[in-house]
Structure 1
Amino acid sequence: MNDRPLRVAMVAPPWFELPPRGYGGIEAMCADLTDALVARGHDVTLVAAGRNGTRAHRMLRTYDVPQGRRLGEPLPEVLHSAAAARFLDDLDVDVIHDHTLAGPLLARGHRAPTVVTTHGPLDGEPGEYYRHLGDSVHLVAISHSQRGQAPDLNWAGTVHNALRADDFPYRRDKEDWVFFLGRCTPDKGMHLAIDAAVAAGREIKLAAKCSEPAEHAYFEAEIEPRLGPGVEWLGEVTGDRKKQLLARARCLLFPLRWEEPFGMVMIEAMVCGTPVVTLRRGSVPEVVVDGVTGLVRDDADELPEAIEAVGALDPRDCRDHVVDRFQPETMAAGYEAVYRKVIATATATTTTPAPEIAPAVPPTQEDMLPVA
């Protein structure tokens, strides 16, 4: 059991194809993990929407067209999870790895154990959701910081996210501007990035997804008034353009205002040889080596100085750090260990003999008398 190939059902969200052509961090992670598991000799069945660009042995499609335009609506994921459950009923697999929010609700009905990666924050209602699911699912955190937010949940392990280093360009010589890349939301701190760059006398380029009402509101209130000479708004950038911007920048400026569970953009920057200037929140200390692959500060007022000091860091150290710790092969090895642990636990549970029950004793006449 400890070395035989595993049969894995990988359930991706319904929003973007695998791998995504642009936005879609969870889908990118699912694609990389699927390919790395196949490379390790495992049999992977992918349950997803749209085309299959992975090496999965087979794909079960819930939607012909991914539902990204309806992101935020509940019904596409509910329908996707219901269809996935029907597919899973007919599959002979060792473990189900579900990356959706709705899918784990149906885990109690599956023959195989269900592993769930907690891709988002766990404070408030998300944590309560997983508490209600109890031991019907086996949770995997994407950072120790995230796991520490809710240590009482049914954790099976912690596995960092990863990326394919060969898909990103490495550039040693940097240009004299700083870069912000993320979502147009207050918790990513784009307005703090602008203020820090201006205070440091550096040009800043801003690339962010800004499509939802809350994102538009933040942009109009905090970002648009700050635009002007030296502050350039690029909008959402993807693909090769995003990678080239990451490689050219002096640094990635990432002034978080929340407990970021992982932050893929940090390893995307570092693998390009670009250090990260950020705040000490969430997973940052697990991802960035302070003074080696970036500069981690405790207060936004310290960021301008860090923007100047970051030029002393070696771009090669940034890339080597990602190659050593955040490759899909490393991620797949971590998940394989989780799968085997969970399968062994489920097998032990199902093979444990039931306690003996004493034979029923027929009631006596006295037992059958009515209660006074």
Structure 2
Amino acid sequence: MRILQVAPNHETVPPPRDGGTERIIYELSQELVKRGHEVILFAPNGSYIWGSVIPYPFYGDDAIASYVVENLPENIDIIHDHTFDSALSRIEINVPVVHTIHLPVYNPVYFPIYVSRSARETIGGGYGFDVNNGIVVDEYEFSHEKGDFLLFMGRIVREKGVLQAMDLAEMTGQRLVIAGPIHDEEMFIQEVTPRLNRNSLLQYVGPVGGRVRQDLLKYARCLLFPIQWEEPFGLVLIEAMACGTPVLAMAKGAVPEILEPFPEMMCDSFEEMAGKLYDYQAPYLPEKLRYYVGERFSVSRMVDRYLYLYQLAISGYWGS
């Protein structure tokens, strides 16, 4: 097939540091090329895949739809729209289009694909399809050895639970490393920075990638995921487990779906999470966590599912 991938216009594909959606687009594109498909990617300047890249000559998502139509390559079999507002749903294109909804937002599209069953049910009202995100497990370093720190890794916004992660570390007297881009600057300045200044056990290291990201994920004693919203997936959960690192997560959104075989790593309340952190002992073997991710959340499995849905869209199937 000749497949067109359309990325958001914020981070390069792949991203240098954070950017879960862009990492998924990259892995999806690479695996499709490996399987003999031709992939063309619309993405920010500096992006690369084994296929072809058409860079956006502007910043932001507003002009993506018109730019794609004006520069649409010939003989495209399927378009895969990853933009956060499903930009291509608002224009006429004489090519089948599928839309992955990466955020917990409702975009009224004909062929929606959610990143979890939970997101499809709660956001999409049960309509559409779901494909779990996947990673290449061999790209994540495994370690039995763990350090003396807890880890919070994700966007620095209220709904991701960074404040609750700090509360947990302070209550239990443990070191916490906070990694991720600041997306709520006011909250960071007013509520995070004063606590960092007061407590040397709390450390913010900014957005991370490469060696720093690998070391944090594989050496963390535990990844904290105290989300305050209905998380549509939670890529960092499977990344940590691929490194053999246990997690403690609030059982919201897709978390019960992702951690289904590991009930001891899920919590129904902040108090339960705090209780488990006192004198914390990992409840599952690191090898078991990595094996599970490889079996359940591989890129290969993700691409199998997407190829099936591409064929449905090409055949004219638009039902749920």
Shared fold per TM-score greater than 0.5: yes
Residue 103 of structure 2: aligned partner? 120
Give the partner amino acid of 1:120: L
The residue type paired with residue 61 of structure 1 is P
In the alignment, which residue of structure 2 is the partner of 1:139?
112
Identity, % of aligned positions: 31
State yes or no: 1:44 paired with 2:13. Answer: no
Q: How far apart are 1:80 and its partner, in Å? A: 2.8
Cα shift readout 1:63-93 (whole Å, capped 9, x = no counterpart):
3xx84xxxxxxxx3122322111122x4211
| Aligned match for 2:287, one of 283, 291, 316 | 316
In structure 2, the residue matched to 1:110 is: 93
What pairs up with 1:216-235 in 2 under 5 angstroms? 216-227=185-196, 228-235=199-206
Superposition deviation, residue 102 in structure 1: 5.3
- Cα distance in structure 2, aligned partners of 1:52 and 1:194: 35
Secondary structure of the 1:77 match is: coil
State the alpha-carbon separation in 1 of the partners of residues 215 and 229 from structure 2. Answer: 27
Alignment match, 1:263: 234
User: What is the CA–CA distance in structure 1 between the aligned matches of 2:40 and 2:47, rounded to whole Å?
Assistant: 11
CA spacing shift, 1:151–1:16, aligned 2, 3 Å: closer
How does 1:282-321 map onto structure 2 within 5 Å?
Answer: 282-289=253-260, 291=262, 295-307=265-277, 308-321=279-292
Q: For 1:268-287, list aligned pairs within 5 A.
A: 268-287=239-258
- Residues of 1 paired with 2:291 and 2:86: CA distance? 37
Match of 1:7 among 2, 14, 19: 2
Partner of 2:171: 199
Deviation string 1:102-133 (CA, Å, 9 cap, x unpaired) is: 522344x21111100001113xxxx2xx33x4
Which structure has the higher relative contact order (CA within 8 Å, separation 6+)? 2
Q: Is the 8 A contact 1:82 1:103 kept in 2?
A: no
The alpha-carbon distance between structure 1 residues 146 and 194, as it changes in their structure 2 partners (threshold 3 A), is same
1:336 equivalenced with 2:320 (yes/no): no
Report the Cα distance in structure 2 between the residues aligned to 1:289 and 1:121, rounded to whole angstroms.
Answer: 21
TM-score w.r.t. structure 1 length?
0.79
CA RMSD in angstroms comes to 2.1
Distance in 2 of aligned mates of 1:152 and 1:197: 37
Structure-1 separation of matches of 2:3 and 2:71? 13
Deviation per CA, 1:254-285: give whole Å up to 9, x if none: 10000000111111111111011011100101
Q: Pick the structure with more helix per residue.
A: 1
In structure 1, how many angstroms separate the alpha carbons of the residues matched to 2:308 and 2:86? 25
Q: Which moves more between the two structures, 159-168 or 331-340?
A: 159-168
**In structure 2, C-alpha distance between the alignment counterparts of 1:201 and 1:99, rounded to whole Å:** 41
Residue 60 of structure 1 corresponds to which residue in structure 2?
54
The structure-2 alpha-carbon separation of the partners of 1:7 and 1:151, relative to structure 1 and needing over 3 Å to count, comes to same
* In structure 1, distance between residues paired with 2:201 and 2:55: 46
CA distance in 1, matches of 2:90, 2:180: 35
Mapped pair 1:98 → 2:81: yes
**What letter is aligned with 1:10?**
Q
Which residue identity does 2:56 align to in structure 1? T
Please state whether the residue corresponding to 2:5 is helix, strand or coil. Answer: strand
Contact 1:295/1:306, CA 8 A, preserved across alignment = no
Name stretches of at least 5 consecutive residues in structure 1 with no aligned partner.
1-5, 68-75, 348-372
Q: Distance in 1 between matches of 2:274 and 2:227?
A: 15
Task: Tell me the distance in 2 between the aligned counterparts of 1:8 and 1:119.
Answer: 19
3-state SS of paired residue (2:176)? strand
**Residue segments in structure 2 that go unaligned for 5+ positions in a row:** none
Q: Secondary structure of 1:30's match?
A: helix
Q: Deviations over 1:172-224 (max 9, x none)?
A: 111122111111111011111111122223211111211x4xx1211233322
The residue that corresponds to 2:132 in the other structure is 160
- How far is the alpha carbon of 1:326 from its aligned partner? 1.2
Any idea what SS the aligned residue of 1:335 has? Answer: helix
Looking at structure 2, the residues matched to 80 and 247 of structure 1 have their Cα atoms a distance apart, in angstroms, of 37
Counterpart-to-counterpart distance in 1, 2:317 and 2:286 = 46
Distance 1:234 1:174 in 2: 19
2:171 is paired with a residue whose SS is helix
Shift of 1:41: 2.0
- After TM superposition, the structure 1 stretch with the greater mean CA deviation from structure 2, 221-230 or 327-336, is 221-230
**Aligned residue pairs, count:** 315
Q: Which residue of 2 aligns with 1:350?
A: none
* 4+ residue runs over 3 A deviation: 150-154, 289-292
Higher alpha-carbon Rg: 1
**What's the counterpart of residue 238 of structure 1?**
209
| 2:18 aligned partner | 23
Q: Is the 8 A contact 1:81 1:102 kept in 2?
A: no
Structure 1 residue 290: Cα displacement? 5.3
